[in-house]
Structure 1
């Protein structure tokens, strides 16, 4: 069978998208204390099953490297990636900041560095507190009650467990026979269903969905990669969320088509997936090797930095072929 798998009533009741109402916060089917949404669909047995079949000797890195000047969302004033040396072999000799003297500093060549960035820089995951409606986020948590002087105290990146599950690539650029989808192309339900049919793959609840637009071919040209990007529209997001996606990712900067087709909402897909459907989002995922090898289903492994309360965090996801 190709397409979304058949969902029984019990599973359907655990998928928040089936209870979602337009532009309203959805309460979690996993209870009032839930902070990870549809990641709950990944059962320990599902993780064990996929790991039993994973070919660890052929892992594919789905992340990009971090460097000064890399494409990043800075239009709202957020900082781009920065990196600088805090210690160098020559500087340590001159400064003797270690206090051990010239002889030891000349013997031990010490280097160290630091970095700063927006938490939504590079390959990363968006947590459920990233976007909401009217001051509330998924499961009814209110900003007025759940943000400290430093960060959210609910639904932060520190709450996300390692993600080990089955992954499915939706190669939409390949479906249309192009290297890169046209600017601002909105990926809808038909595109996604047709991709599954073409690829002869079934999508199941608890899977990670990765959507390929081809935009990664423009990386690291900032203007070509970021501006007027093709991506999911709300219909496409609903298709994946209702099919039980645990996480939805893409190879572009912001998952959804840009600019927004909705004059009233500049982040249509983000608000739907995070606030209504409880589905975390991954962005800047390199899908080129998967598409090039025709690897449409695979073991997915990913873990984000445990940044307390963060609205997003860098991660280094891996895909592994599934053995017969």
Structure 2
């Protein structure tokens, strides 16, 4: 079916290329919808199936000036990292007869601006994307992030600048509070920007968190390390089933944000875990810790929040995640 552009408030049946969220089957013993049969149980790229030649050509037509804007932090940021178990890499430079070689030791692929792959999160005992088991992942290369690299990770990006919209309204977003970004707010911002959505878009949402974190004094940043499970708070998408349905029914190929984990922190267990719903059950890539300040400024200047997004995912067999290596072409 056609991937024609729809408004932010109107995703109609005539534009749909996948079943509606409400029509997806549920897990045997849980009222959680899964999309494991949409592209077949053998599928390994999830919602990237929504990006094909038609969507890439449409994305290319958004380029006006040819300017390229980086969407990622330096590899050694956030500094320090927020997870105790994710130490910063050690950069080793070795002399050679002709000059130098170098390597990274203890390099966590999800330590900076990154993508969560389909090996990252499971749906409990129901397994990973497509119902794969731990045994499947241990004995094969299935669901490695290299599958995304082989397919190619790029298409039309749309920035929803929540931070900019709320600041302009006089109600700036507090980067250290658990503010839930609802589907209604996403629609409000999209409408104010004049932004429309199309099937296969990569949704990019700015909260301003990385800008806030980088501006903190070093001692304040140091105090935040290791607090993810104990007191850490930041804005993000609400983690409800309704949000999962909104993202699926708009047929976004991926979601990337500039906060720590896409969804709001701390996670409200009563509402559920959006990572589990999106990655394990819907096959949707999630990008975290992106740097979006420069992109937001350029989008405001050109009065357009659409762009060609390209992301150089690592061709790493069995890879769980990858640095985003992402750019916007404007």
Question: What's the TM-score bracket when you normalise by the shorter of the two chains?
Answer: 0.7 to 0.9
SS at match of 1:175: helix
Runs of 4+ with >4 A deviation: 14-18, 179-182, 223-226
Distance 1:143 1:17 in 2: 28
Match of 2:256 in 1: 249
SS at match of 1:147: helix
Establish whether residue 145 from structure 1 lines up as the match of residue 136 from structure 2. yes
Match of 2:145 in 1: 157
Distance 1:172 1:155 in 2: 32
Post-superposition offset of 1:86: 4.2
Match of 2:3 in 1: none
Per-residue CA deviations over 1:286-315 (Å, capped at 9, x if unaligned) read: 111122232411111112111111221112
Match of 1:277 in 2: 282
Q: Which runs of 5+ in 2 are unaligned?
A: 1-5
Q: 1:182 to 1:111 in 2, by over 3 A?
A: closer
CA contact (8 A) 2:93 2:100 kept: no
Post-superposition offset of 1:52: 4.0
Larger CA Rg, structure 1 vs 2: 1
Establish whether residue 204 from structure 1 lines up as the match of residue 192 from structure 2. no
Q: 1:147 to 1:23 in 2, by over 3 A?
A: farther
What are the within-5 Å matches in structure 2 for residues 108-257 of structure 1? 108-110=98-100, 112-135=102-125, 136-148=127-139, 153-160=141-148, 161-177=151-167, 178=172, 180-181=174-175, 183-220=177-214, 221=216, 222=221, 227-233=232-238, 234=240, 235-257=242-264
Post-superposition offset of 1:125: 0.8
Distance 1:17 1:64 in 2: 37
What are the within-5 Å matches in structure 2 for residues 73-84 of structure 1? 73-75=82-84, 77=85, 79-84=86-91
Q: Which runs of 5+ in 1 are unaligned?
A: 93-104
Match of 1:289 in 2: 294
**TM-score, length-scaled by structure 2:** 0.80
Is the deviation greater in 174-183 or in 297-306? 174-183
Is the deviation greater in 16-25 or in 132-141? 16-25
SS at match of 1:32: coil
Per-residue CA deviations over 1:207-239 (Å, capped at 9, x if unaligned) read: 000111110212335456973111011343432
Distance 2:294 2:22 in 1: 31
CA contact (8 A) 1:304 1:313 kept: yes
**TM-score, length-scaled by structure 1:** 0.82
SS at match of 1:45: helix
Q: CA RMSD in A?
A: 2.6
